[in-house]
Chain A
Amino acid sequence: MRAASQPAKPAASRTEQIILFRVSGQLFGISSASVQEVRSVDSLAGVSSDINQPTIRKVRQVLHRGDKSLYVVNTAIHFGLPVSSAGLVFVLRKTRTALLVDAMERMATMTRLQALPLAYCHEERRWYRGLTALDQAVLPVVDAQGFLTEEEFSLLDASFAAQNASEDSATDSTELPQ
């Protein structure tokens, strides 16, 4: 006797969890899989140092995590928004970037990501993975890899290395005998 065949299960719809966050009043989404850790800005004290690369104004801090250094991007400056007081830091996965954001709004489930319309043809194509509609509103979903270019990483690495070298030499120096 043959067992009755089971009815085929409907294919699970593909969804993605995103974190909605605010910067200068603007709402953005980011894949929760791209965010390794969310921490308070206050917690940066003691685990970060300043960096000054004049051509990259959006990065002013380096977060130290073990042997890794993550560049902290001021998201408001990155997007050309008015600078606001950031409350949180998103430490991102698979990139040496952390983001200063004002606040986390909520988590949401994204069912459809529409590619950025081709009419958008400048830097925003690097910034966003696409647009999504949530609760009759449209918001951009940021690309975690889109905050710093390879060239910017190189410049920051060079600045950071030079800064460390000068600090080391200052530490190593000894006072000359009178």
Chain B
Amino acid sequence: MTLPAEFAPQSFVLLRLGERRFAIAATQVAELVAPSRIFRFPNRTPKLEGVVLRRGRIIPVCDVAESLLGRSLASRRFYLIAVRQYANQKEWVALPVTGDCELIIAEMTPASENDAPHVAGWISHNGEVIEALNLGALTPGEQAVQLHRAPANSAEATP
């Protein structure tokens, strides 16, 4: 007997925000890094704190705690660098987290219509039911894809 694809075990990264834990599909995680200097500049997009420079890449920092916990994080230990899909383009986004992350294998129950848009599904781990996050709904950017079919991620400066 074979299980439907959505119930097949998958790898997830568990991240901690305050007292709560959330999961992101491991395929959407690039790395976990120590916090570095944030460069801020004027913008009108909520949730974005600025950008960090990581091995030559400029990565936006998105505080998702406000949406998930209802408050910003008082402290942060790491940035979880996640891969965000924008239509046919992928970009990295740094999510501040407050504790160590853990790689687990679990079966995900897909979200129902009653769940919030940021919930991709639910997993059970060590007796705890954990939200698996839908980064597309949790981090901003859909308007950019729709309105500005953007150029390539980076471009050489033109004289």
Contact = CB atoms under 8 A, between A and B. Distances in A.
Interface in B31-80: 39, 41-45, 48, 51, 53, 56-60, 62
A138 B157 contact: no
B81 to A, nearest CB: 13
Contacts, number: 112
B38 to A, nearest CB: 9
Interface residues of A, number: 34
B144 A118 contact: yes
B48 to A, nearest CB: 6
B91 A117 contact: yes
A132 interface: yes
Contact of B145 (A80, A81, A118): A118
A139 B39 CA distance: 7
Q: Main secondary structure on chain A at its contact with chain B? A: mixed
B156 interface: yes
A81 B42 CA distance: 8
Nearest to A12: B159
Given A115-B150, A119-B93, A16 B45 contact: no
A15 B159 contact: yes
B43 A122 contact: yes
B2 interface: no
Interface of B: 39, 41-45, 48, 51, 53, 56-60, 62, 84, 86, 89, 91, 93, 139-145, 147-148, 150-159
Interface of A: 13-16, 26, 28, 79-81, 110-115, 117-125, 127, 130-133, 136-140
